[in-house]
Structure 1
Amino acid sequence: MSGYSKWFRIPRDIVFGWGCLEYLKQLDGKKAVIVTDKVMQQLGFVEKVKSYLAEAGIKSTVFDEVEPDPSRQTVKKGAKLMLEYQPDLIVGLGGGSAIDAGKAMWIFYEHPDVTWEQIFVPFTGVPKLRNKARYVAIPSTSGTATEVTLAAVITNRDVQPNVKDFTLSYEVTPDIAICDPELPSTMPPVVTANTGFDVIVHAVEAYVSVNATDVTDPIAVSAATMAYKWLPLAFANGSNKEAREKMHTASLMAGFTFTNTALGLVHSTAHQIGAEYRIPHGRANALMLPYVVQYNTPAAAARYANIARAFGYDSTDPYEGTAKFIKAIRDLQKLLGIPACLKDAGIDEQDFLNKVDMLAQNAMKDGSTPANPRVPTVEEIKKIFLCAYYGNDVL
């Protein structure tokens, strides 16, 4: 990904810690569109954001129709509202779906004639932004880290199987990330588990990425270790303020790493499972992680062993360390109530077998695949999918 150089790019301003949502009072602007969902409305966070913006002298309107795995149609509807309202601030409020949808709306607001095909060209497809508006991201989950990343994932529901396409452009990295643990403290245990596993996968894939650097490595290991320690505590007791804050910080740190390294086959395969079977993104990542780690072992065993060591599991050689890492992951899955295989996740067997070839082909084309430490073939990805479905070992 880096080619001739290395870099480390994150939002200019990152505000984090309990109560930091009030930072909205310090923003400069005239009009804002808040992109969110019905849950944020019901929990009262939309009104709180509107109130803080009003204190800053900023008028606001709300688009609250973002669904899980937002569609192209939703993005275009939100962009139409922006074109009518003409905001100079866009506020993405909610989980990864709301923030990603807001990023894509931002593109079409500033460049109404751009095509879907263009914006999904990695690194060069998104035109220059910030001609009309800046982007403020406020995450309600400790997981996606899209508030600090270059990606926006949008689902194409006009094709079968459904496909998750995503931008890879530093243009859509938010200008400001406001990460207040009060928001994720409202998550139920199942969402805590799903999004928390996403943190671990982000950090692990960043650490084994072909684009990993001396800058990203220590942050990735620290983020994975922090999430591994604090996720069970946040899951067991959602009102544990320390656990919530640690998980929100770990999510930030994991985002710092993967936005500068890209991800790998866990995400490539999970994107397909999530798009087609509506399995939440973090849970799909958790399901695929052990199988992709097995596949990657010949190329990345030493790195997986390093993470296992950071988790507290010493080993005498990299393969033993990798096996201990996989066991730690599977034990955590069990503790959090995450199924061990795709079949146990409720995916119909015949439907999966009918679609597995296309799922493998789409995963091969996924933008995360090139950074994987082991270069796969379509047949190898199909094998990973089949092993993940039935719970069989890949190697």
Structure 2
Amino acid sequence: MIAAIALPGILRIGGGAFAETRAVLESLGLSRPLIVTDPMMVKFGLAERLQGLLGGAAVFSDTVPEPDTDAVDRARAAVLAGDYDCLVALGGGSPIDTAKAVAVLAKQGGRMRDYKAPAQNSGPALPVIGIPTTAGTGSEATRFTVITDSETHEKMLCIGQSFLPVAAIVDYELTLSKPPRLTADTGVDALTHAIEAYVSRRANPFSDGFALNAMRAIAGHLRRAYRDGQDRAAREAMMLGATQAGIAFSNASVALVHGMSRPIGAHFHVPHGLSNAMLLPAVTAYSAPAAERRYADCARAMGLAGSDRDDAFAVAALLDELRALNRDLAVPGPRAYGIEEAAWFRLLPLMAQQAIASGSPANNPMVPDEAAIQALYQQVWAE
């Protein structure tokens, strides 16, 4: 199998990398950036710091969590109203995904639903420089963006080289102020990226290396970062692991957890990392019989089983750890989160259809039909 590998052209990784943003733009011949961010980055002064580094660049800060097409359209209007030659996306996955979507729409036009999977786009786009402030989505290094259709409430996966940032600036110091809940949710998101990339039917030797390294980094440091946000070693490991996981799944794929997670986020406004965490133990238990060796490798990379233990032991240890991690990180189930039971069960058929339509479940070791997905949603509710 030939693996088609795609990476940002420039990666700056490490404490203090944020200060090199202007130099990165200059190396790319870019001089008229629009900063795309969210209100929290403005409130805490990080957007202003970036403005200072970039000589007073304009700021668009009207992005929203779990971005939808209405928010993307507002950002597109701001981009088209100015003379910008690039977008600098500052924040978590939501501002970065918004910037990636707008970068394509600004050059190619149309609506986001025109770009949803299984379509793949390699057409023109404004250059995007991704600066993550959470250790989770890896969006700064992926050729994906996820946008919810405001009319249909479908969370659309959009794929292609057009959505890949030209540069990523990965500075763990930007995560030191993040609260425990956000640390937990984004951290499990990154772990899910790594596991799904490794067990995906589209995994390859290139993505495998990044996935396994990401699992090693995240497993050893997520609880530490959750307990003490100022633990610099833990924050640095989590940030590197999140970017490695992003590279892994961008060059392999995600699978069933993500396919089932997106409808939960779209219909019930659950943060993406949290909905992944709700699903990860049950979906892993469902999928493991179809890829026991691969899931056992995940357990060994996470330090849960030695090479002297057989695959069955390692998989059991992995399942125990995923459940324990959710307990330690205080991950609520759908019921505890406050989702109404009647609404959950009423939407099961639609959520299962939308999960299948996203394409991600087809990459899973155990490929489910809609009935199997509905049964998993029921199981997650009961747990």
Which category describes the TM-score, using the shorter chain as reference length? over 0.9
* Among candidates 324, 333, 348, match of residue 356 of structure 1: 348
The alpha-carbon deviation at position 127 of structure 1 amounts to 5.2
The aligned counterpart of 2:311 is 318
Do structure 1's residue 380 and structure 2's residue 372 form an aligned pair? Answer: yes
DSSP 3-state at the match of 1:177: strand
| Structure 2 residues without counterparts, runs of 5 or longer | none
* Among candidates 134, 140, 155, match of residue 141 of structure 1: 134
DSSP 3-state at the match of 1:86: coil
DSSP 3-state at the match of 1:183: helix
The aligned counterpart of 2:170 is 179
Do structure 1's residue 79 and structure 2's residue 76 form an aligned pair? Answer: yes
Mapping of 1:12-31 within 5 angstroms?
Answer: 12-26=9-23, 27-28=25-26, 29-31=30-32
The aligned counterpart of 2:124 is 129
The alpha-carbon deviation at position 313 of structure 1 amounts to 2.7
The AA in structure 1 aligned to 2:105 is F
Give the Cα separation in 1 of the matches to 2:18 and 2:285: 41
Mapping of 1:1-395 within 5 angstroms?
Answer: 5-26=2-23, 27-28=25-26, 29-54=30-55, 60-112=57-109, 114-122=110-118, 124=120, 126=121, 128-130=123-125, 133-159=126-152, 162-314=153-305, 316-339=309-332, 341-391=333-383
What is the count of residue pairs matched by the alignment?
377
Give the Cα separation in 2 of the matches to 1:281 and 1:12: 27
Q: Is the 2:4–2:251 Cα contact (8 Å) retained in structure 1? A: yes
**Deviation digits for residues 108-130 of structure 1, max 9, x if unmatched?**
11123x23332114353x35224
The alpha-carbon deviation at position 319 of structure 1 amounts to 3.0
Give the Cα separation in 1 of the matches to 2:255 and 2:352: 14
The alpha-carbon deviation at position 346 of structure 1 amounts to 2.2
TM-score (norm 2): 0.95
DSSP 3-state at the match of 2:157: strand
CA RMSD of aligned residues (A): 1.5
The percent of aligned pairs where both chains have the same amino acid is 32
DSSP 3-state at the match of 1:343: helix
DSSP 3-state at the match of 2:248: helix
DSSP 3-state at the match of 1:85: coil
The AA in structure 2 aligned to 1:103 is K
TM-score (norm 1): 0.92
The alpha-carbon deviation at position 246 of structure 1 amounts to 0.7
The AA in structure 2 aligned to 1:361 is Q
Q: Is the 1:123–1:170 Cα contact (8 Å) retained in structure 2? A: no
DSSP 3-state at the match of 1:261: coil
Give the Cα separation in 1 of the matches to 2:122 and 2:199: 30
Give the Cα separation in 1 of the matches to 2:176 and 2:264: 27
Q: Is the 2:104–2:162 Cα contact (8 Å) retained in structure 1? A: no
The AA in structure 1 aligned to 2:145 is A
After TM superposition, the structure 1 stretch with the greater mean CA deviation from structure 2, 18-27 or 195-204, is: 18-27
The alpha-carbon deviation at position 171 of structure 1 amounts to 1.4
| Structure 1 residues without counterparts, runs of 5 or longer | none
Give the Cα separation in 1 of the matches to 2:345 and 2:67: 26
